[in-house]
Amino acid sequence: MIKRKVLSLLAVSICIAAAASAVLAQGRYANVYSRSDVDNFVRSLEDSSDVFSREFNNAGGTTTSERRIVSRFENAVDRLRNRFNSNNNWWASRNDVQGIMTEARQVNILMNNERFARRLEMQWRNLRRDVNKLADTYELPELAGGRGDGSGGYFPPGRGGNVPNWARGTFYGNDPRTGDSLTMTIDGNGSVVISVNGAAPVYASLNGTTLTNGPYVSRLSRRNNGIRTTDVNYGNYIDYSRSQVGGGIRPEPGFGQGDVPSWAVGTFYGTNPQTGGTISLTIQRNGSVTIVMDGASATYASMNGTTLTNGPYVSRVTRINNGIRTTDVSNGNYIDYRR
């Protein structure tokens, strides 16, 4: 009897602790916003993102790469809506909101660096306000504004310094998510200038090995004669080299390359599953790989045996007829290429 009472009290205690943890896990707005309130925030974001996406796609002068960035953001908003509708606990959608912020950051960089029609820029400002409202609700870092707010107009004085010698200079990289060419110049005093696809620069700061770009923080590490930046929140990383080739970075000699089978050597052509455009893949016998997506600037990867490494993405290469197939080792997605 006593044992049953103890177990019963223990079960009640666990339930109370779990309930308390659930409240704490929902942050400072747990008792402020109802599910209906947050649903309205999501609805507002959905409406404004639909308008912006439609106007952006209809705007003249936008590139395939730019439209792809906006499309990924729109898809992330749609995923949030679908999953939000299927869950009574609004805080359970926090991971989906994090996904939105990842894609929105790319759109924000695009809109801050390029010049678009005033109407489109105004729509993005309205949409960014809705994005930041949702980010604040879920206690996530907000998007920085345009030029002059610390992410795109000046170097914040006194926030940088102690930069190691190997991190000083100009480095070149490619964003593995978008294919954009990146140029980053780091001064010994911690001033950092970043340009995307040769557009107007944005400014950041480096303190030791901590890179701060508005609300985004990355850790720098040394990689051969270059550097790697790793996002402290998501773990995404970008590799930079001191040499620039054709708008991208060529892997350092001998880095994970070689033993490429003869049937995998040459130039192959495939279809980009996201855009429907063409991907060309040129593989050399020494393991150097050149990739061109949708006619954009070349990016560079490496191949060791049948393992293809492109930044954080790793694929297995197999022979099919007179072509090859690349299969992502993490999710099994594949692309077929022909000669």
Residue 285 and residue 302 in contact, taking contact as beta carbons nearer than 8 Å: no
Lowest mean pLDDT among 60-64, 106-110, 200-204, 255-259: 255-259
Tell me, yes or no, whether 220 and 273 share the same domain: no
Mean pLDDT, the chain, whole residue set: 77
Structural domain boundaries, residue 103: 29-137
Quick: pLDDT tens for 209-248: 999 876 778 999 998 888 999 988 877 888 898 876 443 4
Tell me, yes or no, whether 175 and 131 share the same domain: no
Tell me, yes or no, whether 274 and 182 share the same domain: no
Residue 78 vs residue 126, higher pLDDT = 78
Residue 248 lies in a domain: no
Residue 19 lies in a domain: no
Quick: pLDDT tens for 304-337: 888 888 766 788 999 998 899 999 887 788 999 9
For the domain that residue 328 is a member of, what is the CATH number? 2.40.128
Residue 208 lies in a domain: yes
Closest by CA to 283, choosing from 310, 301, 256, is: 301
Count CA within 13 A, CB hemisphere, residue 153: 8
Six-digit token string for 99: 């996904």
Domain count, the chain: 3
Tell me, yes or no, whether 80 and 179 share the same domain: no
Scan for tokens 């759109």, then name that residue: 107
Tell me, yes or no, whether 115 and 203 share the same domain: no
Tell me, yes or no, whether 35 and 133 share the same domain: yes
Residue 192 lies in a domain: yes
Lowest mean pLDDT among 20-24, 32-36, 71-75, 249-253: 20-24
Residue 317 lies in a domain: yes
Tell me, yes or no, whether 233 and 268 share the same domain: no
Distance CA 290, CA 307 (A): 15
Residue 144 lies in a domain: no
Tell me, yes or no, whether 185 and 231 share the same domain: yes
Q: What angle do CA 249, 253, 256 make, to 5 degrees?
A: 95
